[in-house]
């Protein structure tokens, strides 16, 4: 598989280049960044591109790729309903081409969310703890919020009521933030990177699912999974979880 990278000199893109280069079954044929011509992709015979660039330029790049029948694996942010609809139209005219838009390429984070949702119907209690370095601006993290929504939906579907909680006295904030009825706690500790724990409990037992991301490169296996599967999945796919056989 011949792979091109858009945003090849960025922090993320350069890690992608390294990972593609190291994979036996993939060939890195084009490294494109600001100032380079996107035509390089065609000249180099790229079959798949990986795009970690900027919301301002990603749509133009994707139109070019789809026009030329090049599959795309996209980590750039900013895809709202409108943009996804436009992509759908373009892909309708190039039915063999696949585009994967993924907000999160960490396989561990995706597995954690999936397992939490699968387990949720079986447990009376569930809470989420996310732990990050203290320079993070938002609390709770986006992944923790998303996990809470998925867990809450799984509980609703299973007919489960609210989580038990007899707290009647205490300090503000002691029980965390509440997202869709699920308590979420955010810790900020120097030395940590990005970590999350989902705790589920029933009478006499608990189940804990924990994801530790210790290094930025942890997203590269997810990108490679996308690259390897996109040719077999024409059309628009949103979320890497659809390419994991869970």
Segment 137 to 176, residues that bind a copy of itself, using CB under 8 A: 137-140, 163-176
Other beta carbons within 10 angstroms of residue 66's beta carbon come to: 21
Instruction: Examine the residue annotation and report whether 136 is marked as an active-site residue of this protein.
Output: yes
Is 108 near a copy of itself (CB under 8 A)? yes
- Structural contact between residues 4 and 26, judged by C-beta atoms closer than 8 angstroms: no
Number of Cβ atoms within 10 Å of the Cβ of 154: 18
Is 68 annotated in a binding site? The answer is no
User: Which positions ≥6 away from 242 have C-beta within 8 Å?
Assistant: 233
* Strand pairing report for 177-179 and 182-188: antiparallel
Candidates 55-63, 94-102, 121-129, 233-241; binding stretch for a copy of itself (CB under 8 A): 121-129
Q: In angstroms, what is the minimal distance from the CB of 212 to a copy of itself?
A: 5
Asked if 93 is an active-site residue, the reply is: no
18 assigned to a ligand binding site: no
> How far apart are CB 93 and a copy of itself at their closest, in Å?
34
For a copy of itself, which is the closer residue by CB, 71 or 145?
145
CB within 8 Å of 87: residues ≥ 6 apart: 62, 66, 79, 99, 101, 236
Task: Tell whether residue 93 is among the known ligand binding residues.
Answer: no
C-alpha to C-alpha distance for 236 and 176, rounded to whole angstroms:
37
Residue located via tokens 């869709």: 180
Beta carbon of residue 226, minimum distance to a copy of itself (angstroms, whole number): 13
- Binding positions for a copy of itself, 201-220, rule CB under 8 A: 201-218, 220
By CB under 8 A, what part of segment 219-238 binds a copy of itself? Answer: 220-221
**In the complex, least distance from residue 9 CB atom to a copy of itself, rounded to whole angstroms:** 21
Beta carbon of residue 99, minimum distance to a copy of itself (angstroms, whole number)? 23
Place of tokens 């585009």: 99
How many Cα atoms within 13 Å fall on the side-chain side of residue 67?
10
**CA proximity to 194, closest of 216, 220, 224:** 216
Q: Which of 132, 183, 195, 211 is catalytic?
A: 132
Strand order in the sheet with 27-32: 27-32, 2-6, 48-51, 71-74, 98-101, 235-238
Is residue 244 near a copy of itself by the rule CB under 8 A?
yes
Q: Does 77 bind a copy of itself (CB under 8 A)?
A: no
**Contact, 189 vs 122, CB < 8 A?**
no
- The answer to whether the annotation marks 143 as part of a ligand binding site is yes
Which residue, 57 or 192, has its beta carbon nearer to a copy of itself? 192
User: So which residues are the catalytic ones?
Assistant: 132, 136
Binding site for (S)-2,3,4,5-tetrahydrodipicolinate, by residue number, is 133, 142-143
């Amino acid at each position: 598989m011949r792979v091109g990278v858009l945003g090849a000199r960025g922090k993320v893109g350069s890690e992608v280049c390294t990972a593609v280069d190291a994979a036996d079954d993939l060939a890195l044929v084009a490294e494109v960044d600001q100032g380079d011509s996107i035509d390089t992709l065609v000249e180099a015979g790229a079959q798949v591109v990986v795009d970690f660039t900027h919301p301002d330029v990603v749509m133009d790049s994707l139109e070019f790729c789809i026009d030329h029948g090049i599959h795309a694996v996209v980590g750039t942010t900013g895809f709202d309903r409108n943009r996804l609809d436009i992509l759908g139209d373009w892909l309708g005219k190039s039915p063999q081409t696949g585009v994967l838009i993924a907000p999160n390429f960490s396989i561990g984070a995706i597995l954690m969310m999936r397992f939490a949702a699968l387990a949720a119907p079986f447990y009376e209690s569930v809470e989420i703890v996310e732990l990050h370095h203290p320079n993070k601006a938002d609390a709770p993290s986006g992944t923790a919020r998303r996990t809470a929504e998925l867990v809450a939906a799984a509980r609703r579907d299973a007919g489960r009521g609210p989580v038990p909680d007899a707290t009647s006295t205490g300090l503000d904030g002691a029980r965390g933030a509440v997202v869709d009825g699920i308590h979420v706690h955010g810790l900020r500790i120097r030395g940590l990177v990005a970590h999350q724990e989902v705790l589920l409990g029933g009478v006499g037992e608990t189940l804990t699912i924990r994801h530790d991301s210790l290094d930025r490169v942890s997203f590269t296996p997810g990108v490679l999974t996308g690259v390897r599967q996109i040719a077999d999945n024409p059309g628009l796919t949103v979320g890497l979880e659809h390419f994991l056989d869970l």
